[in-house]
């Protein structure tokens, strides 16, 4: 069940229903008390804090949008977004572990899986004691899925998978148990003579012989997030591990990606909010020439713009998330939310670092971490240019 139904009236001014408000506050308190104090340590070690992830699982965060019959909380997508936003205030890496674990690890199974697949995988992943990942991106394939080179051939009732993936979140952790892989399972010739690839999604349990998660990337930011290149060498899984219909892998993923952009926008909003809070605190404490720097108009106006960005980003993702809950079209709204919020996060990180001055250039400063982390927000889950293309197509233009 969900707390918002198609017959509910949207609260005036996007005022949250009682459960959602309580959830937001509880996750905010957890982020402040547990996540934030540990963020610098784990960022420096470049380690995923499994104790924190397990606690998030015990809190029910990974199972929020999963029906109760599959071990989840039976809540809605807005609930997940609120949790992601509050975590991102303190640590984007922890927030994206939740966002990707649910949006990419579980939602494809919930949307497209068989009953047997749902009962096998959703309770485990919803517990937060195991992580799932989605392997789409390759060296020549990301936004252009037609460039996919990974193949899967059906032999004696098994899919034999060969290929590689890159930039895959939650793919090589100690608790990763599942990778959903998009692979070419056939080809056909279009009337114009070009080749159309048949893309299919296939579930690969971890560990499986022939699957390798290579050493984690040395990234600019998101140091705590688990991200790896993957290879599949004659990986064999049963034929029934196909997720959804054969040839529908990319179509199903697009639905997942549209939803994921809304949760990603919530993450961006949380990052922008975290920068605002740190900047307001510092501007109210730091004294120069006998007064706090926030009393200087150029600092106060910078803070005002930061607040305006956060407010706009939050309204944008609320709008898209509520449309998801109500079963309304949301593709354009998802892209608007992702575009606006990722730019807000990057701009707020830059402004917060400027307000902090030299202290903002120290890695131990939360704004420094946000500055490093936020650039990927304009790239991941569809670049800003991709979002502009989606929005333009919604207006009726090809935007080639």
| Residue pLDDT, tens place only, 50-91 | 999 999 999 999 999 999 999 999 999 999 999 999 999 999
| Residue pLDDT, tens place only, 264-301 | 999 999 999 999 999 999 999 999 999 999 999 999 99
Q: How confident is the model at residue 191 (pLDDT cuts 50, 70, 90)?
A: confident
The encoded tokens of residue 220 equal: 């600019």
Quick one: 256 and 378 in the same domain? yes
Instruction: Classify residue 344: in a domain, yes or no.
Output: yes
Arithmetic mean of pLDDT over the chain: 93
Spatial separation of the C-alpha atoms in residues 380 and 294, rounded to whole Å: 34
Q: What is the CATH number of the domain that holds 82?
A: 1.10.540.10
Question: How far is residue 219 CA from its own chain's centroid?
Answer: 17
Spatial separation of the C-alpha atoms in residues 196 and 380, rounded to whole Å: 26
| Residue pLDDT, tens place only, 129-150 | 999 999 999 988 777 777 899 9
381 is catalytic: yes
Q: What is the DSSP string of 128-178?
A: TSSEEEEE--BTTBSS-GGG---EEEEETTEEEEEEEEEEEETSSSTTEEE
Residue 99 above 60 pLDDT? yes
Domain boundary at 213, 231, 247, which?
A: 247
Instruction: Classify residue 104: in a domain, yes or no.
Output: yes
Instruction: Classify residue 187: in a domain, yes or no.
Output: yes
Quick one: 216 and 243 in the same domain? yes
Give the residue numbers spanning the domain of 152: 132-247
Quick one: 220 and 115 in the same domain? no
Quick one: 257 and 390 in the same domain? yes
Instruction: Classify residue 65: in a domain, yes or no.
Output: yes
Q: What is the CATH number of the domain that holds 136?
A: 2.40.110.10
Instruction: Classify residue 377: in a domain, yes or no.
Output: yes
Quick one: 264 and 242 in the same domain? no
Quick one: 189 and 113 in the same domain? no
Quick one: 241 and 259 in the same domain? no
Quick one: 122 and 141 in the same domain? no
Catalytic residue among 69, 240, 381, 385: 381
Quick one: 210 and 236 in the same domain? yes
- The total number of structural domains that make up the chain: 3
User: E strand or H helix at 318, and its extent?
Assistant: helix 297-325
Residue 257 above 90 pLDDT? no
Domain boundary at 197, 216, 247, which?
A: 247
């Amino acid at each position: 069940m969900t707390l918002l139904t198609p017959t509910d009236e949207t609260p005036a001014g996007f005022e949250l229903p009682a459960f959602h408000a309580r959830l937001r506050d509880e996750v905010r308190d957890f982020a402040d008390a547990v996540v934030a104090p540990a963020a610098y340590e784990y960022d420096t070690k470049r380690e995923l804090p499994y104790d924190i992830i397990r606690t998030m699982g015990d809190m029910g965060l990974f199972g929020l949008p999963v029906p109760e019959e599959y071990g989840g909380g039976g809540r809605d997508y807005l609930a997940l977004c609120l949790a992601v936003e509050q975590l991102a205030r303190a640590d984007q890496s922890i927030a994206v572990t939740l966002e990707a674990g649910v949006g990419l690890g579980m939602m494809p199974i919930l949307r497209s899986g068989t009953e047997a697949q749902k009962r096998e995988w959703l309770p485990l992943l919803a517990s937060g004691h195991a992580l799932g990942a989605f392997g789409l991106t390759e060296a020549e394939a990301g936004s252009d899925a037609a460039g996919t080179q990974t193949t899967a051939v059906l032999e004696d009732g098994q899919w034999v998978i060969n290929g590689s993936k890159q930039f895959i979140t939650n793919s090589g952790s100690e608790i990763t148990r599942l990778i959903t892989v998009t692979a070419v399972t056939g080809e056909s010739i279009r009337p114009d003579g070009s080749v159309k690839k048949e893309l299919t999604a296939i579930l690969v349990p971890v560990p499986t012989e022939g699957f390798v998660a290579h050493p984690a990337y040395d990234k600019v930011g998101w140091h705590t997030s688990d991200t790896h290149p993957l290879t599949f060498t004659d990986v064999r899984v049963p034929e029934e591990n196909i997720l959804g219909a054969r040839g529908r892998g990319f179509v199903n993923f697009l639905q997942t990606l549209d939803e994921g952009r809304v949760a990603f926008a919530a993450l961006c909003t949380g990052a922008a909010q975290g920068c605002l809070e740190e900047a307001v605190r510092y501007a109210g404490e730091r004294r120069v020439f006998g007064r706090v720097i926030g009393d200087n108009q150029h600092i106060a106006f910078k803070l005002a713009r930061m607040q305006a960005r956060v407010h706009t980003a939050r309204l944008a993702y609320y709008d898209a998330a509520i449309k998801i809950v109500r079963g309304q079209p949301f593709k354009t709204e998802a892209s608007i939310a992702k575009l606006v919020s990722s730019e807000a996060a990057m701009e707020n990180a830059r402004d917060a670092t400027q307000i902090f001055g030299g202290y903002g250039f120290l890695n131990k400063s939360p704004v420094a971490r946000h500055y490093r982390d936020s650039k990927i927000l304009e790239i991941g889950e569809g670049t800003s240019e991709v979002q502009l293309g989606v929005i333009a197509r919604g207006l009726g233009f090809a935007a080639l």
